[in-house]
Structure 1
Amino acid sequence: MTTTARTRPAAPSLAQSTWLVAERELTMRLRSKAFLISTGILLALVLASIVIGGFAAQNTDKTPVAVVGVAAQSIAGVDGLEVTDSDSVEAATALVENGTVDAAIVPDGSTPLGIAIIADTEVPSSLVGMLSMAPPVQLLDDSATNPLIAYLVALGFGLVFFMSAMTFGSTIAQNVVEEKQTRVVEILMSAIPVHALLAGKVVGNSILAFGQIAVISALSIIGLTITGQTDLLSGLGMPIVWFALFFAIGFILLAALFAATASMVSRQEDIGSTTTPVTMLVMLPYFLVIFFNDNPTVLAIMSYVPFSAPVAMPVRLFLGSAEWWEPLLSLALLTVTTLVTIWLGSRIYQNSLLRMGARVKLGEALRG
């Protein structure tokens, strides 16, 4: 009688287990209609806002005017006018009367400027402002960034990071509590290590979040190119690259915190009690960067705070106020903070995942 030896299949490695969980997270999210629809709407809004804003900037209304003879010298270099040359004052007046132009600029030696304006019922207010005499202006810093552009760039970086962190972070927290509440986590822990379960959730959602950021960046580049905003695009090149690097590490930091804090409760209704501090860590720096984007001191400090560095440092790079070594130092600090947070979060996650009932206190979760 012969017996056939049966070999037990080898248990998956930590890396394999991590990828199995990450793949499960990816599949669940990509099959969710709500996720796909919300992502599509977000991408459409980003592209539409850039394209519409670019076309609106290019298609500014110009004031139609008729110009006679030497009066053309008075409007040389003046933007915002659609000029029609006329042979005589009478011809220019006729254009005003039939509505072809809003006003006519004609020579008049009796005035200090040497010109006069002929209009029908009223003179366009913008035209008077364009022709007003002004002293020569000398700018001490002609390379300074337009404050409105700087604010919009800060708002864009901050909004993208804030929305991605909150959307995917809350998803991680809800999945952790759902698996704990339905006891699914007990089955998962019997097959794979707890560290792999946490790492897989972080990796899977980080891939989705980073992919969303990559698509948004690509659409932004396409939109800026279509609308001819090449100057703004060239200025945003390196800041976008640094933003992607900071986002990749910063999101892992937040994802680990969301997963760890969510494991301390057993009901969906109690998620807010433990994840609120993490939410505040995202919201407060975001608003500080947005409100103080024109304050170099505050912005410099925020660029070294791990939770706001992913937004503050790219903004400083766009403004040209950061030295070449500053993003490297800030990224190093963020990386060290992320590693420490992953270690602490893993400990909290492991010690809290199987504890049901009342909320697990932070001290108990750390001690085990």
Structure 2
Amino acid sequence: MSATPSHDTVPASTTPPAPSFASGVWLVAQREMATRLRSKSFTISAAILVLGVLAAVLLGGIFGGSTESTKVAVVGSAAQVVGSTEGLESVDVATRAEGEELLRSGDVSAIVLPSSGTPPVTVVGLDSPPQGVLAALSIQPDVELLDPASQPTGLIYIVALGFGIVFMMSALTFGTMIAQSVVEEKQTRIVEILLSTVSARVLLAGKVVGNSLLALGQIAAIAIAAVVGMMVTGQKVLLGTVGPAVAWFVVFFVIGFVLLAAIYAAAASLVSRSEDIGSVTSPVMILIMVPYFLVIFFNDNPTVMAIMSYVPFSAPVGMPVRIFLGTAEWWEPILSLAVLVASTAVVIVLGARVYSNSLLRTGARVKVSDALRG
């Protein structure tokens, strides 16, 4: 009697299904972030940058004020509030008009008037909030200005310098990392293994997302350090002035960095050796450094700043500075952001094409025109 044939068969080996676009992007992004965070040089440089910003804010708050008593004109019952406040020297005046004469002549730094509202006094400054007086008082009074100015010249320069340096350093640091990662994978032929699992577009998107998240984290840490420094040194008025501009800077930086990251990755894919990275990324570095120098030398030029706020490569610096100065209409940041988003979308499409068509080409440098044609 013949044996009944067995229906149990050994299953054939199957290849795991390729991950979806979203999961593939996240896997690559996680790999990029893990690689960066394991680098001691990256973590140390990031920590130094954050601590440097915190130290600058703290030292500015500590040494920015006068070590001598600040004279303030006091009217009526406001003397009870000023009292023996450390750092303030009261100059009694009969009327506000008399105090305004002293303020305009420079004999006092501010006028303290009695108020019937919840803050028992009102502080009057000349052309900008008298931060030393406000910091010395134990309450948060209302502030009035006789001759309002947009912002003090020195403060404008410091804020413009801060935005310019943070944007330039972060973009250069993470952009260079992306370029080195692309060329390293191409030079060691690891990219061939990666492309057997995910597509070139997924690989590009993952690199951009991973490094963008790291850059955003660094910017957020810098912003938090600056806020903490201002709170510790009692610069609440300055915080209220700079705060909205910082918030817009973070938003613009995120979109602007995605644009630059796509360009860095596409440019690096054109070469196969680490020695050639500089030749293809130099134009991108210029695009990053130009806004820094423009905002330093032309922060008081409304025409230059207006143009900068609508050029995609300089908008992340130009528009926040204009918001800080109060020269931008309410709709301008929205329009500028829309232009930046549209430009970023176009660059991503072109960059993905260059990246996909150049990634497996080794040897001589690939021309951009050839990469675009495929």
User: Does TM, scored on the shorter chain, surpass 0.5?
Assistant: yes
Q: Partner residue of 1:171?
A: 177
CA–CA separation in structure 1 for the residues paired with 2:89 and 2:222: 41
Question: Structure 1, residues 269-288: CA drift from partner, whole Å, max 9, x if none?
Answer: 11111111111111112211
| Corresponding position of 1:55 | 62
Superposition deviation, residue 5 in structure 1 = 3.9
- Cα distance in 2 for partners of 1:58, 1:333 equals 41
**TM-score, structure 1 as length reference:** 0.79
Residues 188-222 of structure 1 show CA distances to partners (whole Å, capped at 9, x for unaligned) of 00111110000000000000000000010001000
Take 1:40 and 1:9, find their aligned partners in 2: how far apart are those partners? 41
8 A contact 2:164–2:291 mirrored in 1: no
In structure 2, how many angstroms separate the alpha carbons of the residues matched to 1:42 and 1:59? Answer: 28
- Structure 1 residues 189 and 322, CA, compared in 2 at 3 Å: closer, same or farther? same
Q: In the TM superposition, what are the counterparts of 1:197-346 in structure 2 within 5 Å?
A: 197-346=203-352
Unaligned runs of 5+ in 2: 1-5, 71-86, 91-104, 108-125, 128-145
Count the aligned residue pairs. 306
* Separation in structure 1 between the aligned mates of residue 215 and residue 89 of structure 2, nearest angstrom: 51
**2:366 aligned residue:** 360
Residue deviations 1:320-355 (CA, integer Å, cap 9, x gap): 000000000000000000000000000000111111
Contact 1:264-1:352 at 8 Å conserved across structures: yes
Counterpart among 149, 153, 169 of residue 143 in structure 1: 149
The answer to whether the Cα contact below 8 Å between 1:289 and 1:308 also exists between their aligned partners in 2 is no
For 2:84, the equivalent position in structure 1 comes to none
Partner of residue 68, structure 1: none
Assess if the C-alpha contact under 8 Å between 1:50 and 1:224 holds in 2.
yes
Conservation of the 8 A alpha-carbon contact between 2:270 and 2:359: yes
Report whether the alignment pairs 1:156 with 2:162: yes
Quote the offset at 1:289 in angstroms: 1.7
Question: Where does residue 189 of structure 1 map in the other structure?
Answer: 195
Q: CA RMSD in A?
A: 2.4
In structure 1, the residue matched to 2:138 is none
- What is the letter of the counterpart of residue 24 of structure 1? R
Matching residue of 1:19? 26
CA drift at 1:144: 2.3
In the alignment, the residues of structure 1 paired with residue 354 and residue 362 of structure 2 have an alpha-carbon distance, to the nearest angstrom, of 14
CA deviation digits over 1:59-97, x for unaligned, max 9? Answer: 52459xxxxxxxxxxxxxxxxx9979xxxxxxxxxxxxx
TM-score normalised by structure 2 residue count: 0.77
| One-letter amino acid of the counterpart of residue 272, structure 2 | S
How far does residue 42 in structure 1 lie from its aligned partner after superposition?
1.1
**SS of alignment partner, residue 191 of structure 1:** coil
Write the distance in 1 (CA, Å) between the matches of 2:367 and 2:106: 68
Q: Using the alignment, how far apart are the partners of 2:330 and 2:88 within structure 1?
A: 45
Structure of greater Rg: 1
Contact 2:69–2:89 (CA under 8 A) maintained in structure 1: no
1:43 partner letter:
V
Of residues 28, 35, 47, the one that matches 1:28 is 35
The alpha carbon displacement at 1:241 in A equals 1.1
* Counterpart residue identity of residue 364, structure 2: A
Q: Deviations over 1:232-281 (max 9, x none)?
A: 10011211111111001000000000000000001111111111111111
SS in 1 for 2:351: helix
Pick which of 39-48 and 147-156 moved more: 39-48
Deviations, residues 9-65 of structure 1 (Å, cap 9, x unaligned):
3221011111111000010011111111111111111111111110112352459xx
Task: Give me the whole-angstrom Cα distance separating, in 1, the residues matched to 2:48 and 2:337.
Answer: 31
AA paired with 2:215? A
Matched with 2:44 is: 37
CA contact (8 A) 2:164 2:317 kept: yes
Q: Determine helix, strand or coil for the equivalent of 2:196.
A: helix
State the percentage of identical aligned residues: 60
